[in-house]
Chains A and B, each alone.
Chain A
Amino acid sequence: MGSVVLEEVTKRFGDTVAVDDLSLEVRDEEFLVLVGPSGCGKSTALRMIAGLDDPTDGVVRIDGRIVNHVEPKDRDVAMVFQDYALYPHMTVRRNVEFPLRTRSMDRDERQRVVTEAAETLGLGEFLDRKPAQLSGGQRQRVALARAIVRRPEAFLMDEPLSNLDAKLRVATRTELVELQRRLGTTVVYVTHDQVEAMTMGSRIAILNEGALEQIGPPPEIYRRPASVFVARFIGSPPMNTAAGPVRGEPGALRVVLPGGEIALTPHDSRTVAGSGCSEIVVGIRPEHVTVNDAKDGATADGAAGDASGIPASVLSVEALGYERHVICRLDDGTTMIARISTDGPEPPAHSAVRLGFDTARLHFFDPATTRRIDG
């Protein structure tokens, strides 16, 4: 099993830059998820690892070996395609053994490997069916089985779950991770779904417009997003962000937002002061926002709150059963979402409220570079 390394890889199609100076390392036996919105270059990055696209610049290594010039078949990687790429005229058995038929492997050995892979994925009874006679989930397993039998250095998966219905997708997520652990292989997994990324990846790499925004384990990405893009891409509902000028003494800064101010903690004050920014982007996750009554300051959950905070008006409330999302608008039109428990009365639409922020949980970003400001 091997590692996959991209060093300063760039891919241009004509004038458009699909992948921009991308460097990342997928460690041996790691489950790395490449995630980003459509068109961010994640699939192109995967295809360059597979050898289906040539990088315009940079180095691709698999298991330490430079493979830029190596044909796809000699890179020892297996790919699972979004549409599974099953051959409709072949039975499941023929599909699974397809990659083995180009190798010198005797019939019995081949049968054994195919049967083993089918057992692993619970396809034993379907071996003599054609893909058209299988459900979406079963087809997806056949595609996996076909990748497994090659025992490759790395699995490359291009949105393999996107054609499954929502329920099946959740179940398959767990199974895939379990499978990867059992086989102990390296997996590079491409998806646009941040929930998939967060739940499956041992590390995730977030791409935006061809460039790497951040790479790291999911909790770290959630707690310390490296840029406004990551902050808003990971997490649902996304992190609230608002820009405002910085005021006050170096030890006790305040950020002026439309309709009010937020006082920063001494620690944050030092951090922000250190950055030298006179204006700053403040980010706060919806779960760290409270919705308080505009007059008495009681929170929407019924607890007593403070009458300070930023005035806002309620646009709507989405009740999900286990929690509620209160969608508010600040004076200047900025939307802010608060995630609150289901206890207490619901703030009526169009009512005036005050939003309270857990100031220990603020994130700061440089408005010029959109990068995180850290102490």
Chain B
Amino acid sequence: MTALAEPTSPSREEIRAWMERARRRRRMRQSGLALLMLSPSLVIFAVFVFYPFFRNFQLAFYRTPPFPGLPKQWAGVDQITDVLGSAAFRNSVWVTVKFAVLTVPVGIALGLVLAVLAHQRLRGITVYRTIFSSTVATSVAVASVVFLTLLNPQIGLVNYYLGREGAQSLLQDPTWALPMVALVTIWQNLGFTFILMSAALQAIPDEMLEAAEVDGAGPTRRFLRVTIPLLSPTIFFAFVVGTISAWQAFGQIDLLTQGGPGGSHGATNTLTYFVFTDFFERQNEGTAAVLSIALFFIVLGLTLLQLRYFERRVHYER
């Protein structure tokens, strides 16, 4: 607008002032627009991610009164050391580690085997691919209920074919409960792992395998020397993601075993399930907050591992 009313020959200073004004207007407009575009996300993050996250640290220092309504008591680090030193906490960490060890390597191996088998030119192979990836369509809840019935002592097939008729469900057996929960988890994740591994296999250029073949490498050698190394970034990714999700496992525990058998020292009482019961059944937000913080740091460590891997990948590719 200023341009229309411009004097016959404005000085450089004036022109610079106009530009500065235009620039400031542009920046103001962009900043305002950016604020508008970012605020929905920022509000959600502030209220539902950062506030509850930092409040955990505050909650951790107060003991929750035995009856609602009584004032909270400052406990300092005592509560934290109490919880982290407790047998129940150690049990749940140990259970979760075992759970991760049971689910992750086996799940990845199975997914890889299926992906390799389905990665060949055969008539009707798409049907098999669809079947192998089909379990992504099942939620944790669906998978759990499906297996719950297979493991049911009265109507399930498992006890019948294992010759354990009349015996309790394997889910009630302290030795077998965790492996059974792991089995359900592996089955439910199989579709995802299969899709992941198949995509990685398809990304391997045919020339690489052909070059190895020309060099005289047999199928086994080609698989071990070419395919596996090229898949290793994806395998690592699946490993970290699988391990993180093991620490977040909740639905299958709640539906299959409720952390038992064995109460708060239960054979399937994983850390996330422990947080849940501490807060919602025992109503102890103080100790639950300490457990949440522990869970956070464990997952953080795993996430950082994952980030380092991404960094390295970027280096490999560029």
Contact = CB atoms under 8 A, between A and B. Distances in A.
Are A and B close enough to touch in the complex, i.e. CB under 8 Å? yes
Interface of A: 54-55, 57-59, 65-71
A58 B16 CA distance: 9
A66 B6 contact: yes
A71 B12 contact: no
A57 B3 CA distance: 18
Contact of A57 (B12, B18, B26): B12
Given A57-B12, A59-B12, A69 B22 contact: yes
B21 A69 contact: yes
Interface in B241-259: none
Overall SS of chain A's interface? loop
17 contacts: A55-B19, A57-B16, A58-B12, A59-B12, A59-B15, A66-B6, A67-B3, A68-B15, A68-B19, A68-B22, A69-B2, A69-B3, A69-B15, A69-B19, A69-B21, A70-B3, A71-B26
A69 B3 CA distance: 8
Interface in B1-57: 2-3, 6, 10, 12, 15-16, 18-19, 21-23, 26
A65 B3 contact: yes
Contact of B18 (A65, A69, A71): A69
Top 9 A-B pairs, shortest CB-CB distance: A69-B18, A69-B22, A69-B19, A68-B19, A68-B15, A59-B15, A70-B3, A54-B19, A65-B3
B12 to A, nearest CB: 7
Contacts of B19: 54-55, 68-69
Interface residues of B, number: 13
Contacts of B15: 59, 66, 68-69
Contacts of A69: 2-3, 15, 18-19, 21-22
B158 to A, nearest CB: 54
A71 B6 contact: no
Contacts of A66: 3, 6, 10, 15, 18
Contacts of B22: 68-71
Contacts of A57: 12, 16
Contacts of A59: 12, 15
A54 B15 CA distance: 12
Contacts of B2: 69
A67 B23 CA distance: 13
A129 B280 CA distance: 61
B190 to A, nearest CB: 37
Contacts of A58: 12
B28 to A, nearest CB: 14
Contacts of A55: 19
Given A57-B12, A59-B12, A68 B23 contact: no
Contacts of B18: 66, 68-69
Contacts of A70: 3, 22
Contacts of A54: 19, 23
A69 B12 CA distance: 12
